[in-house]
């Protein structure tokens, strides 16, 4: 554990790491473990997935009941990321097991068979993501992962953002584009390209566990956060 996280672990603990006024789900989560699943697939952008994973994993030093997994469709086998990183997911995604589902991007711009574009063309995630909307409290799209959500019908008519190179494609799904780094639309949170996934993850930690914990993690990781400019209760 690095020095920043050792300090964080010593300063946070059960009963003092949450700001109950900020989270709509805390009434349920006060007595239950919070499970975050990050969806992965061949061609996924490594930073889109691993960046939020590290933020959430570090948050568990202050939120002891927070657990994060990398999940895939079907039995977990070795995944090869867009830059060639090989890794093993923790489990297969199953409905009802996650409180928060994070969908990373990767490979949209190349229009190849591997990555988000290929996943959209195959359509295998459409039904599972529709089911996730009914069984998950919060769904988040990182970078072009929002296009996978859009293809499943989860973003039509919603406020959202994606990588700047795919904004027109996202708009074609009937999405209200908000050109901010992180866009919070209640039970849907999305962000821009690649490193914006860190900001999305910090925002989710702040929203659901409190600003103090999110800022402490960002400080320990030496990261300058960007928050949503407009939050759901401020939308006209």
- Is 205 a member of any domain? yes
- Is 75 a member of any domain? yes
**Count of domains forming the chain:** 1
What φ, ψ does residue 199 adopt, rounded to 5°? Answer: -65, -40
Write b or e for each residue in 40-53: b if 16 or more Cβ atoms lie within 10 A of its Cβ, otherwise e. Answer: bbbbbbbbbbbbbb
Q: How far is CA 79 from CA 71, 120, 130, in A?
A: 10, 17, 23
For 216, the 3-state DSSP assignment is helix
Range with the lowest mean pLDDT among 7-21, 133-147, 168-182? 7-21
Asked if the model's pLDDT at residue 12 lies above 90, the reply is no
* Contact residues for 120 (Cβ-Cβ < 8 A; gap 6+): 147, 148, 151
pTM above 0.85, yes or no: yes
Asked if the model's pLDDT at residue 22 lies above 60, the reply is no
For 218, the 3-state DSSP assignment is helix
Q: According to the model, what pLDDT value does residue 32 have?
A: 54
Q: How do beta strands 86-87 and 79-80 pair?
A: antiparallel
- Is 109 a member of any domain? yes
Q: CB burial class (10 A; 0-12, 13-18, 19+) of residue 10?
A: exposed
> What domain range includes position 176?
3-225
Asked if the model's pLDDT at residue 29 lies above 60, the reply is no
- Is 236 a member of any domain? no
More confident call, 117 vs 232: 117
Question: Mean pLDDT across the stretch 121-134?
Answer: 96
For 141-188, the pLDDT digits (tens) are: 999 999 999 999 999 999 999 999 999 999 999 999 999 999 999 999
**CATH label of the domain that carries residue 110:** 3.40.50.880
For 82-115, the pLDDT digits (tens) are: 999 999 999 999 999 999 999 999 999 999 999 9
- Is 39 a member of any domain? yes
Q: Whole-number mean pLDDT of the chain?
A: 88
Q: According to the model, what pLDDT value does residue 166 have?
A: 97
- Is 174 a member of any domain? yes
Asked if the model's pLDDT at residue 30 lies above 80, the reply is no
Asked if the model's pLDDT at residue 73 lies above 80, the reply is yes
Radius of gyration of the chain (CA): 17
- Is 48 a member of any domain? yes
Report how far residue 68's alpha carbon sits from residue 120's, in angstroms, rounded to the nearest whole number: 25
Q: According to the model, what pLDDT value does residue 198 have?
A: 98
């Amino acid at each position: 554990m690095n020095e920043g996280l050792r300090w964080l672990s010593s300063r946070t603990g059960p009963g003092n790491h949450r700001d109950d006024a900020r989270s709509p789900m805390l009434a349920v989560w006060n007595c239950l473990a919070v499970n975050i699943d990050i969806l992965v697939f061949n061609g996924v952008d490594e930073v889109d997935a691993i960046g939020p994973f590290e933020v959430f994993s570090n948050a568990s030093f202050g939120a002891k009941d927070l657990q994060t997994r990398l999940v895939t469709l079907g039995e977990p086998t070795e995944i090869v990321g867009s830059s060639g990183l090989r890794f093993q997911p923790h489990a297969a995604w199953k409905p009802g097991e996650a409180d928060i589902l994070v969908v990373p991007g990767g490979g949209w711009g190349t229009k190849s068979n591997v990555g988000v574009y290929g996943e959209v063309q195959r359509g295998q995630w459409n039904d599972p993501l529709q089911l996730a909307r009914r069984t998950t409290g919060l769904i988040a799209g990182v970078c072009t992962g929002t296009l996978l959500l859009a293809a499943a019908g989860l973003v039509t008519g919603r406020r959202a953002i994606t990588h700047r190179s795919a904004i027109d494609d996202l708009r074609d799904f009937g999405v209200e584009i908000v050109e901010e780094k992180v866009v919070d639309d209640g039970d849907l949170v999305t962000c821009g390209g690649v490193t914006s996934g860190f900001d999305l993850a910090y925002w989710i930690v702040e929203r659901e566990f409190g600003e103090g914990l999110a800022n402490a993690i960002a400080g320990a990781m030496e990261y300058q956060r960007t928050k949503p400019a407009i939050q759901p209760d401020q939308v006209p």
